[in-house]
Structure 1
Amino acid sequence: MRALSGLWRWRRNPLRRTTDLAEAWVALVALVLIAVAAPVVGCLAGAAAQDSLQRAVREQQHTRHLVTATVVRDLGEAPLETDPDTTTAREARSRVLAEWTAPDGSDRHGLALAELKSPHAGDHFRLWTDPQGRITTRPLDSPTATTHAVLAGIGAALTVMGLVEGVRRLTVWRLVRRRYARWDQAWDRAGPDWGKAGTGS
């Protein structure tokens, strides 16, 4: 961490400039923020994501149902997306016309993806539906939700660290530019007489 490099300017030194002291303060503040604020923000973001995702887990597990569907006709292994601009990768599952009974007791039918290598009429497979029988995705499980929450927390902490380091670098860059500008002014004042006899240089 380059923020540590500014801490050496704390030592007593007759050549220390105001910008050196300012750079040391900036480095110390950045170090404290990275060591304290980033983990705190990461924990808070992870906890918030965990609460939200676990609510989604409970809701999805309550509202999504695994039902048994029956193959009416095999529609081949072509992917659902037929846009020529998309990838040519094929779906691992077969596309079929199927019928199933919704959780509310109504009969439904439509296109579905069956985890069958070579489906035939009358074959059975399982699919997830909402309470009205519409096909939906598998409900989110608790371990997956926790993994996403942890990743969200890590991402938030890394974002804070990146922002702090970016602000530190920008501040140091401005301090260095100010330092160089002052050097240029000092050289401009001393330059015309530099090395001439009797000028006191």
Structure 2
Amino acid sequence: MRAISGLWRWRRNPLRRTSDLAEAWVALLALLLIVVAAPVIGSLVGAVAQDALQQSVVDQHHSRHPVTATVVRKLDSARLEPDPDSTSAHDSRSRVLADWTAPDGTRNHGPVMSDLKSPHKGDHFRLWTDSHGRIVARPLDSATATTHAVLAGFGAALLTAGVVESGRRLIVWRMVRRRYARWDQAWDRAGPDWGRTGTGS
């Protein structure tokens, strides 16, 4: 982007090459795309993600229901999570055998994860289930959905800026290579006697 700073200086400079001016205009165009197009694309992606995620929030809150479960007994904690990466997120949770009633009235019994640190028989805790009593993840909340949408928009803007800058660098690299190739051709035409008396230099 340094070429932009000298764009106006190169307008009437006798040492200015055509490639210098072209490089400056490419840099200026890339800057305009980064300043204008990247935020627009980020905003569009964020808006689309926000709509989709908020619809997902509504759908999940309609299809997932909180129920109260009762602890029958605590299960062996060694059977918690087989994945060592996921156990850190569940350090404060306990595996228990519990009873609960589904929103459709059916009674359920089985092993579940509870948020009780030291569960005892008869303790109550909340579970999220579908309408048939099958355990599901907690529904996405609106604030988390908005955060994900903002991150998606920001990521799209950064990706757009990166693509534009990569394109600018590729174009400038090709221009420099073409310039070097022309210099090589000029040196070849000058021949090995360039600079000597009588060679026309």
What is the TM-score normalised by the length of structure 2?
0.91
Match of 2:153 in 1: 153
- Shift of residue 177, structure 1, vs aligned partner: 0.6
**Aligned-CA RMSD value:** 1.8
Counterpart contact for 1:4–1:28, Cα < 8 Å: no
Distance (Å, rounded) in 1 between the aligned partners of 2:80 and 2:107: 23
Residues 81 and 87, structure 2, Cα contact 8 Å, conserved in 1: no
Cα pair distance change 1:167/1:79, threshold 3 Å: farther
Q: Which moved more, 1:128-137 or 1:18-27?
A: 18-27
What residue in structure 2 maps to residue 96 of structure 1?
96
Per-residue deviation, 1:48: 0.3
How much has 1:74 moved relative to structure 2?
A: 0.9
2:13 — aligned with what?
Answer: 13
After superposition, the Cα gap between the structure-2 partners of 1:79 and 1:30, relative to the gap in structure 1 and judged at 3 Å, is farther
- In 1, Cα distance between equivalents of 2:177 and 2:146: 46
Task: Tell me how far apart the structure 2 counterparts of residues 192 and 82 of structure 1 sit (CA, whole Å).
Answer: 74
Matches within 5 A, 1:6-155: 6-10=4-8, 11=10, 12-78=12-78, 80-82=80-82, 86-87=84-85, 89=87, 91-92=90-91, 93-155=93-155
Measured in 2, the distance between the counterparts of 1:82 and 1:133 equals 25
Equivalent-residue separation in structure 1 for 2:190 and 2:13 (angstroms)? 24
CA contact (8 A) 1:4 1:31 kept: no
The answer to which of 152-161 and 69-78 deviates more is 69-78
Cα distance between partner residues in 1 of 2:48 and 2:123: 44
Asked if the contact 2:3–2:23 (Cα under 8 Å) also holds between the matched residues in 1, the reply is no
Q: Spell out, residue by residue over 1:76-129, the C-alpha distance to the aligned partner (whole angstroms, 9 max, x if none).
A: 32353336xx44945320011111000011001122111112212221111111
C-alpha distance in 1, partners of 2:87/2:62? 33
Amino acid at match of 1:181: A
1:157 Cα deviation after fit: 0.4
Identity %: 69
The Cα offsets for residues 136-173 of structure 1, whole Å up to 9 and x where unpaired, read as: 11111111111111100000000000000000000100
Number of aligned positions between the proteins:
197
> CA separation in 1, counterparts of 2:6 and 2:154?
30
Give secondary structure in 1 for the equivalent of 2:73: strand
Unaligned runs of at least 5 residues, structure 2: none
**CA distance in structure 1 between the aligned counterparts of 2:130 and 2:71, rounded to whole angstroms:** 19
Distance 1:13 1:21, change over 3 A: same
Q: State the shift of 1:200 in Å.
A: 2.9
Shift of 1:187: 1.3
